[in-house]
Amino acid sequence: MNLDLKNKIAVITGGSVGIGLAVAKALAQEGVHLAICARDEERLQAVTRDIEKEYGVKVIGVKADVSKAPDIDHFAAVIAEHFEKVDILINNAGTGSSEKIMDAPDEKWYYYWDLHVMAAIRTAKTIVPLMKKNGGVIINSASIAATQPMWYEPIYNVTKIALVMLSKCLANELITHHIRVNSISPGLILTPDWVKTAKILSPEKNISWEEYLDQVAKENNPLGRFASPEELANFYVFLCSSRADFCIGSNYYVDGGQLKVIL
């Protein structure tokens, strides 16, 4: 299938590891130039150099914490210096949480609201102007937990379902500018974020973090396994391409059959 993505420009938040990195590499393989951001600058710049070298595309890496409005403004300004337009925006930066609603302080709710919801609003406001001439694609990384909540992370579940609704509303607003907005809700994808979660929760069960991940896979997924970030990235690439031009305002599950209902 010719995806017709060569020389497109993609912006990916949280592109230095895990799902964001796999999507960055999969797009680079199609000839897409990239602007990626993350907080850990050393890792970000190393990844930037690696992708440029391996795929021969232009990649800029900008240190930014997308939970902070000034960092998003700075990221967008650097993008505008390097590229004349943007074709694809992927709001991917995010992380799991662990709390009880009765104990969690307000500040924690506000942090995740900024990270998962306001970040997507702020990147839309700063980057859509770079898209408006030629149209574009926005994909927001939501989660199966937005629909089928994970017991230990209510703040994550709530902010991710808000992101799904934001995606729908933004799709309605931007469709006349030929900008397609969708969200993707992955199931279990084996990334450093899951290793972090397993290291926090495994001591409660008196098992190793590797055993914890194995249990999570067997208890939650009918295939009994996690997907790799690369398996998931294939779907992102398709949705970015003009082959998916009629895909607008939806939330797509890529979950190995984990969702227990039809939506």
Helix 18-29 to helix 229-240 angle (10° resolution) is 50
Q: Is 253 a catalytic residue?
A: no
Return all residues near 83 (Cβ < 8 A) that are at least 6 apart: 9, 33, 35, 130
Q: Binding of ligand NDP at residue 148 (CB under 6 A)?
A: no
The backbone region for 204, taken as left when phi is positive above 0, alpha when psi lies in -120 to 50, beta otherwise, is: alpha
Which of 4, 6, 7, 40 touches ligand NDP by CB under 6 A?
40
* Residue 134 Cβ vs ligand NDP, minimum distance, rounded to whole Å: 26
- Contact range with ligand NDP by CB under 6 A, out of 1-9, 18-26, 73-81, 200-208: 18-26
Kindly tell me which of 19 and 162 has the beta carbon lying closer to ligand NDP: 19
Which of 141, 157, 167, 221 touches ligand NDP by CB under 6 A?
141
CA distances from 48 to 24, 55, 106, 229 (A): 10, 11, 36, 18
Q: Binding of ligand NDP at residue 154 (CB under 6 A)?
A: no
Q: Binding of ligand NDP at residue 143 (CB under 6 A)?
A: yes
What φ, ψ does residue 101 adopt, rounded to 5°? Answer: -55, -40
Supply the DSSP symbol for 228: P
| Contacts with ligand NDP, residue ranges (CB under 6 A) | 13-20, 37-40, 43, 64-67, 92-95, 115, 141, 143, 186, 188-189, 191-194
Catalogue the active-site residues: 156
